[in-house]
Chain A
Amino acid sequence: MSEYPGYPEEFWESIEKVEATRERRLKEVFKRITPEEKEELLRKWHPDYRPEGKRPLRIGPNKGDSVPNEVADLLESHALIDPKEIDLSDIDYDVDVLIIGGGGAAASAALWAHYSGVKAENILMTTKLRLGDANTKMAQGGIQAADRPEDSPIIHFIDVIGGGHYANKPELVRILVEEAPLIIKWHEELGLMYDKDAEGNFIEIHGGGTSKKRMHAAKDYTGLEIMRVLMDEILNKEIPVLEFTPAVELLMDDRGQVAGAILYNLETKQYYVVRAKATVLATGGFGRLHIQGFPTTNHYGATMDGVVMAYRVGAHLRDMDATQYHPTGAAYPEQIVGQLVTEKVRGLGAQLVNVDGDQFIYPLEPRDVVSSAIIRECYGRNKGIITPTGMRGVWLDSPMIEIIHGEGTIKRYLAAMYRQFKRFNIDITKEPILVFPTLHYMNGGVEINTHAQALNAKGEPIPGLFACGEVTGGVHGKNRLMGNSLLDINVFGRRAGIYAAEHVKHASVGKLTLKHIIKWEELLKKEGIVTDRRAPMILPDYRGERVLSRAIEIRF
């Protein structure tokens, strides 16, 4: 028997089967799923359809809407701050545009607000960890833009809205696809290194759910490349950034506008008051809530803070019932369980196969479909591989890529993936990867209009509040396609910056207030919500049980 030193011996027999069927499978195209089969597969196997995973909200603009329990827990929480302890007359930062977040959407918003005429010193970015610490950097596979002659924004639109189960806000999808080429052009001008051929044409491949090849990539570090260039520009333009300083609550004024935020210095434990004519929420999603106990691909700071804060000033949420599980999270080794194995691996030809080496789904169906099929294979048909820690997974047959595209393709285009597994003695150019779905993306979020303004339950803009990126809902409907979130953060980050800059030309701020938080506390009482939970969460707590059981607070 062959040996695979990076994998436990009980996997070896199955790996041999994967190898034995590879030649046959290279010629085999698995049948695409019909709309009826898709519906049944999702209903039976997608985690969103487990009724015990959700409950109706008891409070706020979306009262009655069903959301994941972990989301409801945070939305039905007390504030972190006590308004009585905050002196709003002493303002620490007085700016035109406050941008909350440190990822790609925040950076795009900051740069475009600046390009649109707001001076750098009148902008303030604030983020809970460092500038650039966000899911953007971790996005590997690519960014969609319909720029080849055989493609068009029209086709891109149909792919997006079909992938989103026709629940997207069509006017937002239109913006997404029509402005995609502009964004790639902006990136080219900034000096981003996209994968290109010798003539300067982008190397474009398929992603799950695309009908044309339009995935632009920078190896499998696409998000990193976008983020670091935008960060470099933020520094070059000298836009002020506060690091390790999360926003903990939005501020309003006596005219009902959003007018800044209360920030918290994680190291000195003091608060800051920021007054702003426009506030842009770019705080990302909720991976670190570990919905239904799933591991996540997400950044340490992905705790849904922006949704919590926006909800308390009356923002309407949408599609929060739809959670994206990325089909291929690492299921082995234990050290990296849940971490992303980019969809680009399938884009380059790797198939998904079960313990016997047989395919069970067309590998580039939309993400919710592929995730459901993997869960069914492991738990419905019992055709998964069981790991030493009891997880189940299926094989992602990465060595096929080297056979299809030639030796060296993986090291060249999947350098991050190759490195990730080599660190644990697994060579993905020769051995398949064990995968299982992992919590990846918040499909829904704060509802916005085409000007990236946050909307209330009546569909009216909340004056002074803008939102962009994963914190928002509507662009992707019930299921986002690969390559559309790097696009989303740039397109709507840009719009948030432009329209925030437009807004501040005419805006003025009244007297600052935290009355909405006092009202929120009253509302919790009125709705009979009894809890000691506080939110936003800021960061998850992964300390060991023994430590937590003996942790006490001593003031000294």
Chain B
Amino acid sequence: MTVQATVEKVPKLKMVRIYIMGREYLVPEGLTILKAMEYAGYRMIRGVGCRAGFCGACSTVYRLKDDYRLYTALACQTTVQDGMYLVQLPFVPAKKPRYDIEKLKPDFSTILMHFPEVTRCVQCNTCTKVCPQEVEVMDAIQAILRGDIETAAHLTFDCIACGICSMRCPAEIVHYHVFQMVRRLYGKYIAKKSKHLEERIKEIEEGKFREEMDRLVRAGPEEWKKLYAQREIEPD
């Protein structure tokens, strides 16, 4: 009997034909684009990161057989299809303005000063259509143009900065840097501060827990075991 996550029966591999930067490879169906490229022999350095859809490193552009459209995807989250014709974006060149968050005002003028190109948005909605995270990218830019930082911050929360929108934007906006600033402005200046946190920090600084903590650190495993067993669990 085995208790590890090994494969107990190996299914027969059905193969599909893909084209990596124009070269044809046969790869097992059901693989992600990333794993298919590795199967084909690529040892990935660019175009790979967390392998789980959180880091935005594996932006991929592809076309399908008999289809004029240009599709975009995260290579680690998308299954290969027969006839896929693909290339990865190794890097997205982008200007990132430097700023001191302490000195900013949470309003449209701040965004305009750092990212004047947002006003060039022509509402083509290409950004939204290509987003692998299904972020309402254009709506967020429009919210910013209305001065609605809060809405823009929430709309863009799931952005993983893959940069695909910015590579396709006719107005040449670098959305993910704009959105990063917007979210920080919201988090710092618009969202209310926690009162409990301030109180707790004051208590710690005043030494409220010091003596008990001194004792606890020295108490040793037997005492800790007792205390652990006596814990009162807060109900859900």
Contacts and interface: CB of A to CB of B under 8 A. Distances in A.
Given A133-B50, A158-B227, A390-B9, A193 B157 contact: yes
Interface string B165-206: 000000000000000110111111101111111111100100
Interface in B1-42: 1-11, 30-32, 35, 38-42
Given A185-B197, A196-B192, A539-B45, A162 B100 contact: no
Given A190-B184, A375-B3, A423-B77, A147 B57 contact: no
A399 interface: no
B154 to A, nearest CB: 8
Nearest to A152: B209
Nearest to B6: A293
Contacts of A11: none
B198 to A, nearest CB: 8
B225 interface: yes
Contacts of B200: 146-148, 181
Contacts of A294: 4-5
Given A200-B195, A297-B52, A543-B38, A390 B8 contact: yes
B28 to A, nearest CB: 9
A174 B191 contact: no
24 contacts: A47-B4, A137-B54, A138-B52, A146-B200, A147-B196, A147-B197, A148-B196, A150-B234, A161-B224, A162-B228, A170-B217, A188-B187, A191-B186, A192-B184, A198-B192, A199-B192, A200-B195, A201-B195, A211-B233, A221-B157, A336-B52, A339-B51, A375-B3, A420-B53
A266 B57 CA distance: 16
A318 B234 CA distance: 33
A416 B53 contact: yes
Contacts of A189: 188
Contacts of B96: 235
B69 interface: no
A200 B57 contact: no
Contacts of B49: 129-130, 133, 299-300
B185 A266 contact: no
Contact of B4 (A148, A185, A292): A292
A154 B212 contact: yes
A171 B218 CA distance: 9
- Interface band, chain A: 35 or more
Given A158-B224, A206-B236, A299 B51 contact: yes
Contacts of B8: 386, 390-391
Given A148-B196, A300-B50, A224 B160 contact: yes
A20 interface: no
A19 to B, nearest CB: 22
A359 to B, nearest CB: 15
Contact of B55 (A133, A218, A334): A133
B57 A130 contact: yes
B107 to A, nearest CB: 14
B133 A436 contact: no
A172 B224 CA distance: 15
Nearest to A436: B5
Interface residues of B, number: 86
B118 interface: no
A506 to B, nearest CB: 28
A32 to B, nearest CB: 8
B44 interface: yes
Interface of B: 1-11, 30-32, 35, 38-46, 48-55, 57, 77-79, 96, 98-101, 133-134, 153, 157-158, 160-161, 180-181, 183-189, 191-201, 204, 209, 212-213, 216-218, 221, 224-225, 227-229, 231-234, 236
Contacts of A192: 184, 187
A212 B234 contact: yes
B5 A293 contact: yes
Nearest to B42: A543
B233 to A, nearest CB: 5
Contact of A50 (B3, B101, B160): B3
B229 A138 contact: no
B194 A202 contact: yes
B40 A138 contact: no
Interface in A160-187: 161-162, 166, 170-171, 173-174, 178, 181-182, 184-185
Contacts of A170: 216-218
A174 B224 CA distance: 13
Nearest to B215: A154
Contacts of A406: none
B79 A335 contact: yes
Q: Nearest 10 CB-CB pairs, A to B? A: A200-B192, A191-B184, A191-B188, A390-B8, A162-B228, A547-B41, A191-B187, A166-B221, A544-B39, A211-B231
A516 interface: no
A161 B194 contact: no
A137 B55 contact: yes
B146 to A, nearest CB: 20
B55 A157 contact: no
Between B189, B194, B204, the greatest number of chain A beta carbons within 10 A of the residue's beta carbon is seen for B194
A145 B35 CA distance: 38
Contact of A379 (B2, B51, B184, B221): B2
Contacts of B45: 129, 244, 266-267, 539
Nearest to B203: A152
Contact of B31 (A147, A201, A244, A335): A335
B183 A388 contact: no
Nearest to B53: A420
Contacts of B51: 299-300, 339
Which of A161, A202, A221 has most chain B Cβ within 10 Å? A161
B232 A211 contact: yes
A238 interface: yes
Contact of B10 (A45, A147, A244, A390): A390
Given A173-B217, A235-B98, A300-B50, 10 more contacts: A138-B50, A147-B197, A157-B213, A211-B231, A223-B54, A229-B184, A236-B101, A337-B5, A436-B5, A539-B45
A200 B100 contact: no
A228 interface: yes
A283 to B, nearest CB: 16
A109 to B, nearest CB: 20
A339 B204 contact: no
Given A159-B231, A181-B204, A211-B233, A191 B209 contact: no
